Amino acid sequence: MRLRMARDRISGIVLFLVALLVVWESRGLPLGTLQHPGPGFVPILLAAGLGIAGLVVLVQGGKSPSIRSIRWPEWKHASVVLSACVFMPLALETLGYRLTVALLLAFLLGVIERRGIALTAAIALGAAWGTYWLFNDILLVLLPQGVLGF
């Protein structure tokens, strides 16, 4: 019996493969116990949930339209957003966390979403410095400073 490749079935397969990738990448982290979970506990737990959800979507997804019926008029918009997301890990070490996040958010809000300059600046700067404060100062997660010290 051949399964019809519906949109939901493709999505279920992708979700399941992402879950397998997370489990594979987490294989070197100690699991710990329920009382004292290790660093690999939560990623594997989340991957298990994602994998189960992917299998459910795969099995139940036969009623969605065929993958061949997809028309994607927003492919240019999506490729620009994806390119912006690729920029972040590439620039993070050089520019630093705050400057990279501020630039990325300013681009996404100002250029892609066409929000006003004041709103874009307030959200970009507030989110960049606010999340830096939360992670670096409160949670003590060291974030890259970059060559400019940001």
Please give the residue range of the domain that contains residue 11: 7-69
Tell me how many domains the chain contains: 2
61-111, pLDDT tens digit by residue? 777 776 677 677 878 888 888 999 899 999 999 999 999 999 999 999 998
On whether residue 118 sits in a domain, the answer given is yes
Are the CB atoms for 9 and 58 separated by under 8 Å?
Answer: yes
Same domain, 35 and 79: no
Q: Which residues contact 22 (CB under 8 A, 6 or more apart)?
A: 43, 44, 46, 47, 50
Same domain, 53 and 23: yes
7-62, pLDDT tens digit by residue? 788 888 999 999 999 999 998 888 888 888 888 888 999 999 999 999 998 888 77
Same domain, 12 and 64: yes
